[in-house]
Amino acid sequence: MLSNQLTMTEFDLRRLDALFERLRRHVKPPATLTVLERELQRAVVVKPNEIPATIVTMNSEVRVKDLDTGERRNLKLVFPSMAGIESGRVSVLAPLGTALLGSREGARVAWQSPRGARRLQVERVLYQPEAAGRFDL
């Protein structure tokens, strides 16, 4: 990630920790798991009702701009079982998902894809569960 500060909720951190444990027990963990775990270790963790509405949390929908092509699209950050890139639902375990988690409006994020380095700017958080009073998503 290019932005320095990663902010996330206690609720998201607990759910991600549970996901990590399940993955380690049942399958060979994806390589991206280590990257995500490192990101979480440096996160500023806050209560769900204290997170700014401009931060990307789990189940947030964001509008992003590809800094190389200028293309804009909406993406939703989800848990792996809900992912479907064709419908714009990006898994938190995907390199793009890991880069988006905890970023804020205006942040530039970078990740490695099979086609090389990619860069996006988070233009707007269109929906954040916590800002909408949904503390169960």
Please give the model's pTM, rounded to 2 decimal places: 0.87
pLDDT, residue 1, reads 37
Paired sense of beta strands 61-66 and 72-78, if any: antiparallel
| 3-class DSSP assignment, residue 113 | strand
Instruction: Return d(Cα 78, Cα 93) in angstroms, integer.
Output: 9
Tokens 């970023």, located at residue: 103
CATH (residue range 7-127)? 3.10.50.30
Residue ranges, the chain, pLDDT below 70: 1-4, 29, 31
pLDDT, residue 28, reads 72
pLDDT, residue 14, reads 92
Question: Which distant-in-sequence residues (6+ apart) come within 8 Å of 95 by Cβ?
Answer: 32, 35, 111, 112, 113
Query: Which tens digit of pLDDT belongs to each residue from 37-62?
Result: 888 888 899 999 999 999 999 999 99
Instruction: Return d(Cα 36, Cα 95) in angstroms, integer.
Output: 9
